[in-house]
Chains A and B, each alone.
Chain A
């Protein structure tokens, strides 16, 4: 999937030659822009893909970049009848952000390798931040919910998820949280974050979530 997008991106640059990727933009973003600015590029991309013999590329795999290009920022006043405000303006209210704010805007998911309960080094900073917040406010309590991917038995997965949750709880305690603030529980494979039976979905499901109680 990801590799396909890169191919689309590079093919686009070669075909149009006019778009120079800005350093902060990903190739995908650049590709989207290219598609917006030059609709005929799509045809060129398709032709290039065909020429490259990419017969396995499905049509729907080129869709996401086109779809994500839709929420273009509307300039205030542009096309509006009354002066100043646009009739098309939408100001988002994001309740998930509020919830995140309660948890200090910290990432709250830790991912694991297959059949493993080892907390990977890359999640230490996240857990350290959570532990410091818990240490600063002893009234706060959280549950650490362990999860697994769909493979294997429900009860064994429940135990494996428990082991993951306990590993995270142990890390938090070592980093300064009090054990009375933490409860490690497990949902096993019963509450997947992502549907699907491939490694991409499984990797998203092997996790522990930190949830306010």
Chain B
């Protein structure tokens, strides 16, 4: 017993900092082309309280475009790495860096990225951050590496919102895109659903049942200031921001039936968009702001439809299956993600809106809910059930790389990926 404890203590010192051992991203699947990249431990990162290099590696792996290669030792940005040695480890790229405590208590996080194949430096940065923002600094490094090596913007420094349920409480949280570092935005004894980020990432609209009915609120994330957007007779739900952030589409039952309305960002001037005797709900704007996708059972079963953002003729979008709900549109407007019931299983599907209209299931789970696109359109976050709990997953659009986000105790659900720009 004693021997074993001594061994694990030694292993802990050798292999990881305490933060590393808390860090769990379970990744499954293999992508077609993955860049093998080594992220060495940064000098003095173990003194900073955040395993910066491990966060960078997990970020890159979760994207599906990178495969982590183990690095044996600390490597800082001033080093002259022996490229032949790194080629021998089959790494195409290499990152090293350091974390130094500044006199004012902040941390200076520096790194350098090398192209191992060509044997050249690709660049580096220095970022001085408060201790609270060390995870953010790590995510920014991952974004830099991702953009340098893929040519596309990374989403690792963006944020997600989600709802946890545990101990009889419902909590709306805002966390890093990897699900870590969650902070409480709203605590309630009653359910909270359907959080929606404003396009500038400053506000969250959501549905709260604190008044014993569904009421839509908007809340400034930084200040906690909140306002009622819609509290009409009946239920008020499914808020969606227009791309310009000036209005919200939502579902109201104020005139009987669940119908779509458009209103100002202060909850002013509600205007009815749909006129059906069916359920119309879950509106979401196309990225150009011209169309609204929504769910309606006007044809006898819930299907995804599309109509002009000002209302008007709706055309049906989904045709396969008799239960298609929760539409999300990729930032380029080309892909529809939604939940489809097939044989009693609720699965995440993607559909090509560009022309073929072909749809495919991209999970093999059976309780998928609430898909939301990353702002670069390369990943989806969604809720599902695993081990008897509600959990959050990210997946590449082809479904090949999935990662389960960290959850400590409670049920986690209703994820919504925030915009660029933190």
A158 lies within 8 A of B281 (CB): yes
A152 at the interface (CB under 8 A from B): yes
A159 lies within 8 A of B279 (CB): yes
A185 lies within 8 A of B213 (CB): yes
What chain A residues lie within 8 Å of B369 (beta carbons)?
153-154
For residue B349, give the distance in angstroms from its CB to the closest CB of chain A. Answer: 13
CA distance A208 to B326 in the complex (A): 24
Task: Give residues 159-178 of A contacting B (CB, 8 Å).
Answer: 159-160, 162-163, 166
A155 lies within 8 A of B257 (CB): no
Q: Which residue of B lies closest to A211 (CB)?
A: B212
CA distance A183 to B92 in the complex (A): 64
What chain B residues lie within 8 Å of A162 (beta carbons)?
234-235, 253, 257-258
What chain A residues lie within 8 Å of B257 (beta carbons)?
162-163, 166
Total contacts A-B at CB 8 Å: 90
A156 at the interface (CB under 8 A from B): yes
Contact of A190 among B193, B251, B323 (CB under 8 A): B193
A184 lies within 8 A of B251 (CB): no
CA distance A118 to B253 in the complex (A): 18
B346 lies within 8 A of A155 (CB): no
For residue A103, give the distance in angstroms from its CB to the closest CB of chain B. Answer: 16
A11 at the interface (CB under 8 A from B): no
For residue A189, give the distance in angstroms from its CB to the closest CB of chain B. Answer: 9
B258 lies within 8 A of A154 (CB): no
CA distance A191 to B191 in the complex (A): 8
Q: With A185-B212, A185-B213, A191-B191 given, is the CB distance from A155 to B253 under 8 Å?
A: no
What chain A residues lie within 8 Å of B212 (beta carbons)?
143, 145, 185, 211
CA distance A183 to B214 in the complex (A): 12
A156 lies within 8 A of B234 (CB): no
For residue A117, give the distance in angstroms from its CB to the closest CB of chain B. Answer: 10
B414 at the interface (CB under 8 A from A): yes
Q: Which residue of A lies closest to B259 (CB)?
A: A159
CA distance A61 to B81 in the complex (A): 68
Q: Which residue of A lies closest to B301 (CB)?
A: A115
A186 at the interface (CB under 8 A from B): yes
B198 at the interface (CB under 8 A from A): no
A187 lies within 8 A of B256 (CB): no
Contact of A183 among B194, B234, B258, B282 (CB under 8 A): B234
Q: With A152-B346, A153-B326 given, is the CB distance from A158 to B213 under 8 Å?
A: no
Contact of B191 among A163, A190, A211 (CB under 8 A): A190
What chain A residues lie within 8 Å of B335 (beta carbons)?
none
Q: With A160-B279, A162-B234, A183-B233 given, is the CB distance from A154 to B193 under 8 Å?
A: yes
What chain B residues lie within 8 Å of A154 (beta carbons)?
193-194, 369-370, 414
Contact of A155 among B234, B256, B281 (CB under 8 A): B281
A156 lies within 8 A of B282 (CB): yes
CA distance A187 to B212 in the complex (A): 8
Task: Give residues 226-255 of B contacting A (CB, 8 Å).
Answer: 233-235, 237-238, 251, 253
Task: Give residues 30-78 of A contacting B (CB, 8 Å).
Answer: none
Q: With A162-B253, A163-B257 given, is the CB distance from A155 to B191 under 8 Å?
A: no
B323 lies within 8 A of A159 (CB): no
B193 lies within 8 A of A163 (CB): no
What chain B residues lie within 8 Å of A145 (beta carbons)?
212
What chain B residues lie within 8 Å of A155 (beta carbons)?
193-194, 237-238, 251, 281-282, 295, 325-326
For residue A136, give the distance in angstroms from its CB to the closest CB of chain B. Answer: 24
CA distance A159 to B296 in the complex (A): 10
Q: Which residue of A lies closest to B326 (CB)?
A: A153
A187 lies within 8 A of B282 (CB): no
Q: Which residue of A lies closest to B369 (CB)?
A: A153
CA distance A151 to B282 in the complex (A): 17
Task: Give residues 336-363 of B contacting A (CB, 8 Å).
Answer: 339, 341, 346
Contact with A along B170-204 (1 / 0, CB 8 A): 00000000000000000000010110000000000
Q: Which residue of B lies closest to A158 (CB)?
A: B237
For residue B229, give the distance in angstroms from its CB to the closest CB of chain A. Answer: 16
What chain A residues lie within 8 Å of B209 (beta carbons)?
187, 190-191
What chain A residues lie within 8 Å of B339 (beta carbons)?
153
Q: Which residue of B lies closest to A169 (CB)?
A: B256
B251 lies within 8 A of A187 (CB): no
Contact with B along A94-118 (1 / 0, CB 8 A): 0000000000000000000000000
What chain A residues lie within 8 Å of B282 (beta carbons)?
153, 155-156
For residue B261, give the distance in angstroms from its CB to the closest CB of chain A. Answer: 14
Q: With A166-B257, A183-B233, A190-B191 given, is the CB distance from A152 to B323 under 8 Å?
A: yes
What chain A residues lie within 8 Å of B193 (beta carbons)?
154-155, 158, 188, 190
Known A155-B325, A159-B258, A162-B258; further 6 A-B contacts with Cβ < 8 A? A156-B282, A158-B207, A158-B238, A159-B279, A163-B257, A166-B253
Q: What are 17 A-to-B residue pairs whose CB atoms are below 8 Å?
A: A151-B346, A153-B282, A153-B346, A153-B370, A154-B193, A155-B282, A156-B279, A156-B282, A156-B295, A156-B326, A158-B214, A162-B235, A162-B258, A163-B279, A186-B213, A187-B209, A190-B193
Give the top 3 A-B pairs by smallest Cβ distance, nearest first: A190-B191, A159-B258, A185-B213
